[in-house]
Chain A
């Protein structure tokens, strides 16, 4: 259980049974990173010595008859906006590189380590999480393991690519407008954006606090559930963390899906895209025998409101640096942050009020539906350095903005979503979003596991 395709839960089972040591698992993962990451550039920091020491500590605990946790010896890595004790939290920026090292781990990082997982390092991202490509001007572009000429998606591009390439079985990312789901789709892995407030953001650099979520990536549904179960729950250190009772997801993997009310999102979610993502939704819908269609109310306005709030909150967060050292921002975020500072306050306030209206309408829809299907992205991963605009349905659309056309209307109101990987033969990966009502992640895991068991979705190691 040291190969690139080893599942997290299989590694943990072997480490706990002393069939393999955590040190061997960690050594093998570090060797894979040394071999492949020079090209892929997923990692911005590899903590080789510390990880090996921690792995040996796990082995010592197993040898002493102690239980190091359900993720014993499982290698993982985190987007570099998470605090890791002793490392400077970059958030993909040059500006934060001047800051002192973090004094303690982010809550989610600490939770995975408490479960026995071994942190191998930190991962590349779009600067301050404002992008869908991980073409970072300061740290270089991360490459898609399925086609190194293409982007991995973003902003958690390093996280998705590291999991897709088999460098780690589990990674953490964050999602404000699609930053877990988009790279999960482009890299062909599973990505969970939990309900807003379900996983603590304490110790994760914020972008747009109204929508910031933390969540995991994995190559199997069971691993995704195990990672989610390790990190979900209340946290007084995060003002939006929910105190709703925790529902463990892992017991729902493999549970019956009969009787669940499923539907395909139509209208906005059946337009605005190339053919392949819509075909991926059709394939998943057919496998699940879904015939019902529902239309969300005003999703294009939800997306617009999400853009306004994101730009306003992001610009406000970085306003002092924008005033005094705008030249130190990544050119691909600088213009949008500066523009965000100029949005009239009344528009921001109206966008927040619209959010409340939209939440109420969508809640009505979920009275009759358990899981909704929608495409994750409007296209496959674009080439690195692709043109700024593309023709779609007879109009020019901005590639980096339109990439979030299907993800933004959902994170806008904090709905839980799993992006499941669907890959047609000889094609690049795509994602389908499984969407539920708030705090109903468990039902998403049931459907995702059914699709995985039936061979409809899968995340084989790339490259």
Chain B
């Protein structure tokens, strides 16, 4: 479903997931998306997946831990 693409200048509107992909993904989490919204949601998800490539395309050492604020 996800084809990888990397932008040097930043997240851009490359097309990787289709409206059908979005509909199936949304169904998995019980999120109905109206047909009228599907095209723009597809564009928005493609922008986020381009951003995701920049994030996951950068190797991090195993000992780098997220810094959530959780104080038991």
Contacts and interface: CB of A to CB of B under 8 A. Distances in A.
Contacts of B47: 307, 339, 398, 401
Interface residues on A, range: 35 or more
Contact of A339 (B11, B34, B44, B56): B44
B52 A347 contact: yes
Given A323-B31, A326-B33, A344-B52, A354 B58 contact: yes
A355 interface: yes
A304 B52 contact: yes
Interface in B28-72: 29-34, 37, 40-41, 43-45, 47-48, 50-56, 58, 60, 64-69, 71
A342 to B, nearest CB: 5
A303 B67 contact: no
A320 B6 CA distance: 32
Given A338-B37, A397-B12, A322 B31 contact: yes
A420 B11 CA distance: 27
A402 B52 CA distance: 16
Interface residues on B, range: 35 or more
Contacts of A354: 55, 58, 60, 64
Contacts of B50: 304
B55 A338 contact: no
Nearest to A342: B25
Contacts of B11: 303-304, 307, 401
Nearest to A340: B48
B50 to A, nearest CB: 8
Contacts of B64: 353-354, 356-357
B60 A308 contact: no
Interface of B: 8-13, 22, 25-26, 29-34, 37, 40-41, 43-45, 47-48, 50-56, 58, 60, 64-69, 71
Interface of A: 239-240, 271-272, 298, 300-301, 303-305, 307-308, 311, 319, 322-323, 326-327, 334-336, 338-344, 346-347, 349-357, 359, 389, 393, 395-398, 401-402, 405
The 8 closest A-B pairs by CB, nearest first: A339-B44, A352-B66, A304-B54, A304-B51, A335-B40, A339-B45, A347-B52, A307-B51
